[in-house]
Amino acid sequence: MKKVFFGVVIIYALYAVAISTYLFTVDTPLPEHYIGTEADPQTFMDEEQLMLSQEFSKWRNVLYFVHTPFEWMIYLFVLCFGLSRIFARWSEAKLKFRFLQTAIYVILLSSFSWLVSFPIKYFSYSISKDFGISIQPFHNWMRDQLVSFWVGAIILTIIAYVIMLLISKSPKKWWFYTWLLSIPFTLFLMFIQPVVVDPLYHDFYPIKDKELETEILQLANKADIPADRVYEVTMSDKTNSLNAYVTGIGSNLRIVLWDTTLEKLTKDEVLFVMAHEMGHYDLKHLQLLLLGSIVASFVALYITSKLYSVTINNLGKYLNIKKADLAALPIILLIFSLLSFVSSPFSNAISRAYEYQSDRYAIDLTEDADAAVSTFHKLSVEGLADVNPPTIVKILRYTHPPMVDRITHIRQYSEKLE
């Protein structure tokens, strides 16, 4: 198994060199029919901004395509070199209760993974700092990293304990019972995220600008959206980029605006952003995404169960791992990660379609296409966005349409309404 791992390392190294070379050298010229239009970045970015956006995007893309399979390499390493088995046996020897054993094992596994991948995460943070996107001090960034570590460890402990318990009780149907339990668990996490998880990272409060708040409330009333679900979050101490999003479900559903968005956009532009986020709410995108994730998890767990059984049956004796062993957890995590990557083009395409729908909804609500276009210009400039990314990047990374497509789409839609 060690020889297998080193063979995979060679393949990974060749892949990393190839994909990095491609992403740093690929040229994606703007289609001719976009040149000179308001979707052309040369009309709203200066030469320095264009250069920085291209360089920053290249680094971000390389880091994504290198780091994603690197996570798979970590899982392979702990399996092939017996580290997972050592973690499991140590936790089982130290503690009596299965849940506590699982917790210690997850902490050990997560700590190893976190330490090994830390250089890549730190390099990503440094790149964002160098290009002026992040202004977050190192100690503050480390705090967020540690919060993410413990939140992830707690959630993974619960999931791992349930899965391994079900595998031991029902080796053939464990995936189905896991899926049934995942539905209320997912709903619970979505419900508590805005009030429990998100405040661990940021400060949320009602919008300070009361005049703007009045106009937002009027817009929300026009869209039949509860006004007490609009919040501002402090991000100006961490980043220069702009953002807004919808989070939570039920009574905890919130439309959230970054304070940087409020500071750098005009009133009309903020209202367009708000209308866009209201579109996600009114068009039931969160509910549809939740339903889609439930269906996707059913398929993913079924495939995982089959691949897991094949892996254990063929490699279990070499890894010295049985099907219900806690040490086998990295196999499940590896399969899940692979399936998530493979399915990302489909999920990203759905997300991009929803973004187009919300853009059209916002135009219907505000009747202000000029504010929409100027908003997209500022989002591109402040975030150093690549408005026309390579196809592979768009398919695998972009949950939002590239700005060149988004600006053109919104203008064409508004012209049809005239």
Q: Which region holds residue 320: left if phi is over 0, alpha if psi is between -120 and 50, else beta?
A: left
Contact 281, 231 (CB under 8 A): no
Q: Is 40 designated active site?
A: no
Measure the CA–CA gap between 189 and 155, rounded to whole angstroms.
9
Q: Which of 71, 232, 277, 368 is catalytic?
A: 277
Measure the CA–CA gap between 244 and 350, rounded to whole angstroms.
19
Residue 280 annotated in ligand binding: yes
Query: Cβ contacts of residue 312 below 8 Å, gap of 6+?
Result: 321, 322, 323, 328, 331
Measure the CA–CA gap between 349 and 287, rounded to whole angstroms.
17
Contact 323, 167 (CB under 8 A): yes
Measure the CA–CA gap between 271 and 86, rounded to whole angstroms.
56
Q: Which of 92, 359, 368, 386 is catalytic?
A: 359
Measure the CA–CA gap between 104 and 94, rounded to whole angstroms.
9
Q: Is 130 designated active site?
A: no
What single string gives the DSSP state of each residue in 23-48?
HHH---PPPGGGTTSTTSGGGTS-HH
Q: Which region holds residue 244: left if phi is over 0, alpha if psi is between -120 and 50, else beta?
A: beta
Measure the CA–CA gap between 340 and 353, rounded to whole angstroms.
19
Cα distances (Å, whole numbers) of residue 349 to 8, 29, 312, 353, 373: 30, 22, 34, 6, 22
List the structure tokens of 177: 């019972």
Binding-site residues sit at: 276, 280, 355
Residues forming the annotated binding site for Zn(2+)? Answer: 276, 280, 355
Active site residues: 277, 359
